[in-house]
Structure formats: structure tokens, C-alpha cells
Chains A and B, each alone.
Chain A
Amino acid sequence: MAKRKIRIMVAKPGLDGHDRGARVLARCFRDAGFEVIYTGCHQSPEQIAAAAIQEDVDLVGLSCLSGAHRTLFPRVIELLREQGADDIVVIGGGIIPDQDFPKLYGAGIKAIFTPGAPLEAIIDWIRTNIKPRK
């Protein structure tokens, strides 16, 4: 009996070892009934894109608190595109100044959540925007 499940990867690109937030998210995604792959800290965009494809996830959630999101987030999207995996939705979170939002949205990031975003809002966004396949 077919049952589609949403698979999400939570990843931390770049030189940023602060993963409390990413772990809290991973846990709350689990409690929302999603399957969550957590890749740990210090990942290159190349590692993240490769892992997302190997795991066939629906969504990648990038977390960055180091200030390098303007470079790292678009690079992940670019790599997914290059490998024909642009159906994987990418969202971002962390310490991201408002003025960077347009650049990130322009690069293809579908949503950005910053400190104070309620967990329910993130889960609701996922439920609304990521449909289990077919």
C-alpha cells in the first residue's frame, strides 16, 4: 500500500559549528512526521548537493550563522541545478539580514526563516509548499 513520505535534509554549509538550531529543527521535523537526514556541521555546498541527490530528498534546509549565506546558499542551488536536481526545494535560515533576502530569493531560495520564527510556521510552510510526490 503506497504511502508517500516527505524527506528533508538539514545541512550546515561552511565554517559554522553552531548547530543547536539545526538540531532543534531536525527534531521538530521528526515530530511532524517527516524523515530527516542531518548531515552535521562544516559541509561544503558540493557535499550538501551530492548528499541531497543520494538521499532523494524533497527539501533541503540550510542553516548558516556565520554570515557566508550570500555565497553558500546560491552555490547549493547552482550545484543542484547542474546535476538536474532543481526539483529539490531549498530554504534557508540563520542570522540573515533583511537586506540579503532579495539576493537569496533571486538565487532560488524559496523561504527564509530567521531567529524568532515559530517552529509551527516552518512546519506549516513545508506542509503547504512540499507535497509528497504524485
Chain B
Amino acid sequence: MADESEETDKLRKIREGDVRTASRLIRNLEDDLPEAKSTIKRIFPHTGRAHVIGITGPPGAGKSTLVDALISSFRKKEKTVGVLAVDPTSPFTGGAILGDRIRMQRHAEDPGVFVRSLATRGALGGLSKAVGDAVHVMDVMGKEIIMVETVGTGQQEVEIINHSHTVIVVLVPGMGDDIQAIKAGIMEIADIFVINKADRDGANQLLSELNAMLNMAPEFPGGWRPPVIRIGNVFDSGPFGESLVELSAAIGDHHRRLMEKDLLGDRMRRKALMEINEALRDAILAPILKELAESGEMDRITGRLLRKESDPYTIAEEVARRFLK
């Protein structure tokens, strides 16, 4: 465990925005080191200032390119920006290619921008387990805007709502018929919809499907009806720039609405609940699993299950009775 003055020094550096210290801490959080958690305990009271924007949508929808463009637009307004970009870990080798950064490299030398790639490392829900704490780190560094880009998602990866104040769902034309638009899951979590690559066929159809879906919604919390913003070809800079102005205005409007209607409280409560949940799982379940594995009992239990001598529920009840008093 690092000594007291070293920890204080680390905290000071992070609050001053030191990238090397912050990046190292995020690495230690990803690697699940206990001392990284103690640092989070210390920075936690200073968190809660940044506007956290989640960006999600299917693979190849253009999320990273959009994040890159948004970085520029926030920098023009002299806001400092942090980006956490998540890409999937291979379930077979544990390796990962983190490629979101390619789209954002032109900002690499801007001291007001800090881009960090994270691999999912087995986490479900489209994010990495470390993402919540990494947001805290960037927040304490003083980043005013933090964008969290999920992996390319399917229908169900909605974890991003637990981490963001504003969720942008990025869609592209031609991904399915109008039944897709009324399904549960990712289509429900948007504060802002983006129809990306809107110069392609099917963009108008997607727009009317989304509007039809939104028209059916019984109510919108705080009266915020998610706007649908069409964004065209990134290489057609005139119209692209205009639609980006529209998007960044919508992000600002949404943030103001959250403040005015005191909706931020709900989102923060959701995040708090999720953080407690995860911390409890780490504190209670992880040691049990570790002991079962180390004592060799996990192998015995698995054998019983495979031979049909028991079932998962009975086994779980036995383990719970033994460990949880």
C-alpha cells in the first residue's frame, strides 16, 4: 500500500490534470488493484462536476467519428474534454484491438483533450467494469465534458444509462424494418437520436419510424422528447458541420433541461445504486468465488453438476448458507 504522502501527491497531480498519473490510475483500476480502489475512495468526494455524455449504437454506425467531431465542437467552446472509448475483448484469447482512437488522433496533441481506450475484459452491457471509476478520474482532472463511447451494441447493451447524463443513440439507415423501432432495450434509452450517414437510402424511412415510435410514448420525463438529428456524409463538410451544430445544441439543451427540471438527481441515484451494487458484488461474491476456486471446491461442485448429482440452485443455496450468516 502506498504511503500517505505519496497518495496525497497522486491526488494533487490528478486534480491538476496530470495525464500520466491519471492514465496510470485508470490502468490500475482496469487491472483491479486494491490500491487503485483506495485512490478512488479519496477522489470520490471531488467528483460530480462533469457533463457525462454516453454514445452508443451498432458497430460501424460512426460513433467514433461522431465523437471526434464533437471533441472539435466542444473545444471551439473552450470546454475541456475526456473520452473513454470501449472496444471488445476477445473471449478466446483475452486480447483486444482498441481502434476507436484512430478517428480521434488529430486531437492527440491538444492538452485539453484526453482520450483513453478501454477493453471490455469480459464485462457485459457494452462497457468495461472500470468505466465508472475512469469517469470519476477524468471528472476530478477537471474535464468539463466526458464522452463515453460503448462497444458496437446490439439491442440489449443499455449499461451506458447508468453512467451518463445524456445518452446519444447513433443509428444508420437500412438495419431493419419498423418493428425494430418499437422493441425494448437500446431504443428506449436515447435522450438524443442520431441518424448517421443520413445521405444514404432509407434515412427518411428511419426518421419516420423513429418519430412514429416517439409519438406512441405515453410521456417524456421532464417533457424532454428525444430529438432525432440527421447527420450526413462526414466528407461533405458543409452539411456535416451544420448538422453537428444542431447536435451540439441538442446536447446543451438536454443538459439544461436536466438541471432545470432537477432530473439529474434521478440519473445520479441510478448511478449510485449501480455503484453500490457492483461494490457489493466485489466485496461479497468475489471472496467467496476465490475461496471456492482456491480450495478446489469449485471443481467438485462443477463435477456434481455435470454428473447431475445436483443443480445450480441447490448448490448456490448450500454455498450461501455456509458463507452468509
Contacts and interface: CB of A to CB of B under 8 A. Distances in A.
Q: Do A and B come from one complex?
A: yes
A1 interface: yes
B290 interface: yes
Interface stretch (A26-34, A98-106, A108-116): A26-34
Interface in B1-50: 19-20, 23-24, 26-27, 30-34
Given A7-B27, A56-B24, A83-B20, A2 B32 contact: yes
A27 B93 CA distance: 11
B252 interface: no
A5 B31 contact: yes
A51 B101 contact: yes
A34 B117 CA distance: 14
B283 interface: no
Interface in B108-137: 108-109, 114-117, 119, 121
Contacts of A1: 32, 286, 290
A56 B93 contact: no
Contacts of B26: 56
Please classify the interface of chain B as helix (H, G, I), strand (E, B), loop, or mixed, using the class held by over half of its residues: mixed
Interface size range of chain B in the complex: 20 to 34
B23 A46 contact: no
B280 to A, nearest CB: 16
Interface in A13-59: 26-27, 29-40, 43-44, 46-48, 50-51, 53-56
A51 B108 contact: yes
Interface size range of chain A in the complex: 35 or more
Most buried by B among A5, A26, A39: A5
Contact of B95 (A32, A43, A51, A133): A32
Contacts of A48: 108
Interface in B84-103: 89-90, 93-99, 101-102
Interface in B196-243: none
B277 interface: no
Contact of A55 (B90, B109, B116): B116
B95 A33 contact: yes
A40 B89 CA distance: 20
A38 B98 CA distance: 7
A85 interface: yes
B96 A35 contact: yes
Contacts of B33: 2
A133 B90 CA distance: 21
Contact of B23 (A40, A43, A55): A55
Given A27-B97, A30-B95, A54 B32 contact: no
Nearest to A42: B105
Sorted from nearest, which 4 A-B pairs have the closest CB atoms?
A30-B95, A40-B102, A56-B23, A47-B108
19 contacts: A2-B31, A4-B31, A5-B119, A30-B97, A32-B93, A33-B93, A33-B95, A36-B95, A36-B98, A37-B98, A37-B99, A38-B99, A50-B109, A53-B19, A54-B23, A54-B114, A55-B23, A56-B26, A133-B27
Interface of A: 1-5, 7, 26-27, 29-40, 43-44, 46-48, 50-51, 53-56, 83-85, 133
Given A7-B27, A54-B19, A56-B27, 16 more contacts: A1-B32, A2-B31, A3-B31, A26-B97, A30-B95, A32-B95, A37-B99, A39-B102, A43-B105, A47-B105, A54-B114, A54-B115, A55-B98, A55-B101, A55-B117, A133-B27
